[in-house]
């Protein structure tokens, strides 16, 4: 076994590898970019080295290995994990690459070559065609719909479903651009698109002594945009005969390229066809994100096995010694907003609670309170995994663990994951890669809460928290305490909380900490009280008590409960509620839907555009998003350029519905008469620094 191993990755996978190294008594070395200088994986390692150019800098990683005396490099997944150039440079420098030989990575990294190789070994493959052949001819031959995908890379990046010949040119353009930028290889292929398929993969292990085994399957059918969200082992679809057949195919695929190490052979399975035919689609020559479910049902540590194989040891078990026990399910927590088409989000983690102390629940997380989540890296924040003797109990445990997870400051998909687990077909194991798209509206509504809207008790809790904070700021001055005291009946304070396009009117009378009244909308007033317990707040309304995680971010208050979170912007009635310069609906201001980078600008100032016409493409975290014109008009302003990083809601452009007459300098001294209706209210004076345009 090695004495020192460098982990060439970040986030939850770096921490997961470091955990095994610590258990084995092996010294761990972390590497980090400038943005990750204080990240959890850096603090967890025995030593850490800065990478001035980031995680893809091969020579800097190798220099860090030499500097720290690391005999091996574990690449995790992503970044350099499937880089043949990196694997070869490790060999040249005498550093062990904890992964397969470069030749195997190269053979399986090229999807076209991989399909030909495994087909020659007798493994079934999906019908299709590849470049340099004619993609249109291949698509017409196998019939639409087809799947266009890059030959290099993985993770669903650049993969597009095409349903007609007319859609193909645009899909090829987008996929080629993504492939070239992400993988340095613009070669594409098309495959038959199997409707309603199951995505099932087989975990394989191979050593340098000729031994190859499989550790059963993982069901990965719950996906959106070809990205896995929930994975489980074993699959609820397979019987023992199908499992045996697919396992043998996976072992043949691994042997066909002289594989060594841990890898995953992925199959598309026609779950609604007799015999469930399974077709090879690709092999991932690395540790998979979802490897924990296999670990929990086999009792094996895949990272330890990777390290032992890389150190030249034979596999410690044979195929007939592999036994699957119970059921495990994993959910991926992403920094994304399901209600906004799953666009990536960002922010600073204000409050964090993870369910690591629950029995048979495992949390692989790269999160830490206070850390910033941006658009530089993949949006996956953590994985929550539950094991139980049977599938039904495993799903219940996972749902409970998600409900006990709180992330305030960054919008996540946790509530969506709970809604997905509660879906009747998911509970019954009737899965497909298209299930989420088919149920999206109902899943989004369930994630938002009963009725698909912010619950009334959340509005009440937000107003009570804000009112209590206002009271705290008043101190001992009786004239500033917002208790509503008046001669006669106490007065109400009206709050106008807003979140995610929803607003409410909430009235509070009295002090929440001493007992007060609260009324949400037109509902009658109810007795209420508030009590703090550290960062949590306990809110009682009309005898019903809820506990919320609570944090403040500037003027906003974040509340979290049962895996849901709400970022609520407060306004008191009569205050100016709109942000200065905020673009409302229909104002022509085009904003970035996510933090990222402007990939392409397709228009110029002064250009006439039509509603829905693409204006720009913003890219972040394996995703391209086309920003379109909100209406017919003229591009009056273009605020960004290609290659420019942008924040969420940053102004990208302004489209005017009609030409604007802009006065020349000679005209500016002339008075302009603006007609004012006779019944228009007289505006109050605006203090300096507030309001304005």
Could you report the per-residue pLDDT of 334-386, keeping only the tens digit for each?
A: 999 998 888 889 899 999 999 978 999 999 999 999 999 987 788 899 999 99
Q: Does domain 589-661 have CATH number 1.10.760.10?
A: no
Burial class for 196, CB neighbours closer than 10 Å (0-12, 13-18, 19+): middle
Q: What average pLDDT does this structure show over 395-423?
A: 97
3-state secondary structure of 59: helix
Q: Which DSSP state fits 450? A: G
Q: Which helix (H) or strand (E) holds 442?
A: helix 440-448
Q: What average pLDDT does this structure show over 116-144?
A: 94
For 10-38, the pLDDT digits (tens) are 999 999 999 999 999 999 999 999 989 99
DSSP codes of every residue in 363-406: EEE---TT-EE-SSS-SEEEEEEEEESSHHHHHHHHHHHHHT-E
Q: Work out the pLDDT band at 92, boundaries 50, 70, 90.
A: very high
CATH architecture for segment(s) 127-192:
2-Layer Sandwich (3.30)
Q: Work out the pLDDT band at 480, boundaries 50, 70, 90.
A: low
Are 507 and 493 in contact by the 8 Å Cβ rule? The answer is yes
Query: Residue 28 and residue 286: Cα distance in Å, rounded?
Result: 19
Q: What is the pLDDT of residue 475?
A: 60
pLDDT of 671 > 60? The answer is no
pLDDT of 199 > 60? The answer is yes
Query: Residue 61 and residue 284: Cα distance in Å, rounded?
Result: 22
Question: How many Cβ atoms sit within 10 Å of the Cβ of residue 233?
Answer: 29
Average pLDDT, the chain: 89
Q: What average pLDDT does this structure show over 128-151?
A: 94
Instruction: Read off φ and ψ for residue 315, nearest 5 degrees.
Output: -60, 140
Q: What is the pLDDT of residue 689?
A: 32
Question: How many Cβ atoms sit within 10 Å of the Cβ of residue 526?
Answer: 16
Q: Work out the pLDDT band at 600, boundaries 50, 70, 90.
A: very high
For 625-668, the pLDDT digits (tens) are 889 998 999 999 999 999 898 877 788 999 998 654 433 433 33
CATH number at 456-568: 3.30.700.40
Q: What is the pLDDT of residue 340?
A: 87
Q: What is the pLDDT of residue 65?
A: 98
Q: Which helix (H) or strand (E) holds 361?
A: strand 361-365
645 beta partners: 597
Residue ranges covered by each domain of the chain:
4-98, 127-192, 198-451, 456-568, 589-661
Are 424 and 438 in contact by the 8 Å Cβ rule? The answer is no
Q: What is the pLDDT of residue 666?
A: 38
Strand locations in 102-255 (E):
128-130, 146-150, 160-162, 188-192, 198-206, 212-224, 227-233
Query: Residue 106 and residue 132: Cα distance in Å, rounded?
Result: 18
Q: Work out the pLDDT band at 485, boundaries 50, 70, 90.
A: low
Q: What average pLDDT does this structure show over 71-88?
A: 96
Closest CA to 553 of 348, 395, 329: 348
Q: What average pLDDT does this structure show over 141-150?
A: 94
pLDDT of 70 > 90? The answer is yes
495 beta partners: 506, 572
Dihedral angle sign, alpha carbons of residues 96, 101, 106, 109: negative
pLDDT of 675 > 50? The answer is no
For 507-551, the pLDDT digits (tens) are 999 999 999 999 999 999 999 999 999 999 999 999 999 999 999
Are 289 and 351 in contact by the 8 Å Cβ rule? The answer is no
Query: Residue 622 and residue 375: Cα distance in Å, rounded?
Result: 10
pLDDT of 61 > 80? The answer is yes
Q: Work out the pLDDT band at 225, boundaries 50, 70, 90.
A: confident
Query: Residue 470 and residue 213: Cα distance in Å, rounded?
Result: 64
Q: Does domain 4-98 have CATH number 3.40.50.620?
A: no
The class level of CATH for 198-451 reads alpha beta
Contacts of 173 (CB under 8 A, 6+ apart): none
For 426-468, the pLDDT digits (tens) are 999 999 999 999 999 999 999 988 888 899 999 999 999 999 9
Dihedral angle sign, alpha carbons of residues 538, 541, 542, 547: negative
Closest CA to 556 of 409, 374, 338: 409
3-state secondary structure of 217: strand
For 226-239, the pLDDT digits (tens) are 889 999 999 999 99
Q: Which DSSP state fits 131? A: T
Span of 72-76, 345-349, 674-678 with lowest mean pLDDT: 674-678
Query: Residue 502 and residue 511: Cα distance in Å, rounded?
Result: 26
């Amino acid at each position: 076994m090695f004495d020192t191993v460098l982990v060439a990755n970040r986030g939850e996978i770096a921490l997961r590898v470091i955990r095994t190294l610590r258990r084995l008594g092996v010294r761990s070395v972390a590497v980090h970019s400038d943005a990750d200088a204080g990240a959890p994986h850096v603090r967890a390692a025995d030593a850490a080295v800065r990478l001035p150019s980031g995680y893809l800098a091969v020579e800097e990683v190798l220099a860090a290995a030499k500097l720290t005396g690391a005999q091996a490099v574990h690449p995790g997944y992503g970044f350099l994990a499937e880089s043949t150039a990196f694997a070869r440079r490790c060999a040249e420098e005498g550093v062990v690459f904890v992964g397969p030989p470069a030749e195997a990575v190269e053979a399986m990294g090229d999807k076209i070559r991989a399909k030909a190789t495994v087909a020659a070994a007798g493994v079934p493959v999906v019908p299709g065609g590849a470049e340099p052949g004619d993609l249109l001819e291949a698509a017409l031959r196998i019939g639409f719909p087809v799947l266009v995908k890059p030959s290099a890379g993985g993770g669903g990046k650049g993969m597009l479903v095409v349903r007609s010949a007319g859609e193909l040119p645009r899909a090829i353009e987008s996929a080629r651009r993504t492939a070239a930028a992400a993988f340095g290889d613009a070669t594409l292929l098309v495959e038959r698109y199997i409707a309603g398929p199951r995505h099932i993969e087989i975990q394989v292990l191979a050593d340098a002594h000729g031994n190859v085994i499989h550790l059963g399957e993982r069901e990965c059918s719950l996906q959106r945009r070809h990205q896995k969200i929930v994975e489980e082992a074993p699959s609820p679809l397979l019987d023992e005969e199908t499992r045996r057949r697919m396992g043998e195919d996976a072992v043949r695929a691994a042997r066909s390229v002289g594989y060594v190490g841990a890898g995953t052979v992925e199959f598309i399975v026609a779950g609604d066809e007799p015999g469930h035919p399974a077709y090879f689609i690709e092999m991932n020559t690395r540790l998979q994100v979802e490897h924990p479910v296999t670990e929990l049902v086999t009792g094996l540590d895949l990272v330890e096995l990777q390290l032992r194989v890389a150190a030249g040891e034979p596999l410690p078990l044979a195929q007939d010694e592999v036994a699957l026990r119970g059921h495990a399910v994993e959910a991926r927590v992403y920094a994304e907003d399901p209600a906004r088409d799953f666009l990536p989000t960002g922010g600073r983690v204000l409050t964090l609670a993870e369910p690591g102390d629950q029995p048979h629940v495992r949390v692989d997380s790269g999160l830490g309170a206070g850390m910033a989540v941006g658009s530089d890296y993949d949006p996956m924040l953590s994985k929550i995994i539950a094991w139980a003797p049977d599938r039904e109990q495993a799903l219940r445990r996972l749902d409970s663990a998600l409900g006990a997870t709180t992330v305030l400051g960054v919008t996540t998909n946790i509530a969506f994951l709970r809604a997905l687990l509660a879906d009747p077909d998911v509970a019954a194991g009737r899965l497909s890669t298209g299930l989420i798209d088919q149920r999206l509206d109902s899943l989004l509504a369930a994630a938002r809460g009963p009725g698909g809207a912010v619950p009334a008790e959340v509005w009440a809790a937000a107003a009570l928290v804000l009112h209590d904070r206002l009271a705290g700021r008043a101190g001992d001055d009786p004239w500033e305490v917002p208790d509503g005291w008046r001669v006669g009946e106490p007065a109400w304070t009206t709050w106008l909380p807003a979140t995610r396009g929803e607003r409410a009117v909430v009235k509070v009378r009295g002090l929440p900490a001493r007992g007060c009244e609260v009324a949400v909308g037109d509902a009658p007033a109810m007795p209420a009280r508030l009590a703090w317990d550290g960062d949590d707040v306990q809110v009682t309304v009309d005898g019903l008590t809820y506990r919320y995680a609570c944090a403040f971010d500037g003027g906003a208050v974040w509340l979290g409960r049962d895996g849901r979170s709400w970022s609520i912007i407060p306004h008191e009635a009569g205050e100016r509620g709109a942000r200065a310069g905020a673009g409302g609906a229909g104002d022509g201001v085009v904003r970035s839907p996510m933090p990222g980078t402007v990939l392409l600008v397709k228009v110029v100032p002064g250009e006439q555009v039509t509603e829905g016409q693409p204006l720009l493409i913003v890219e972040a975290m394996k995703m391209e998003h086309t920003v379109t014109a909100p209406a017919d008009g003229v591009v009056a302003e273009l605020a960004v350029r290609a290659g420019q990083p942008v924040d969420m809601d940053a102004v990208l452009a302004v489209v005017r519905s009609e030409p604007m007459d802009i006065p020349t300098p000679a005209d500016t001294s002339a008075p302009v008469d603006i007609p004012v209706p006779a019944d228009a209210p007289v505006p109050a004076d605006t203090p300096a620094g507030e309001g304005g345009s």
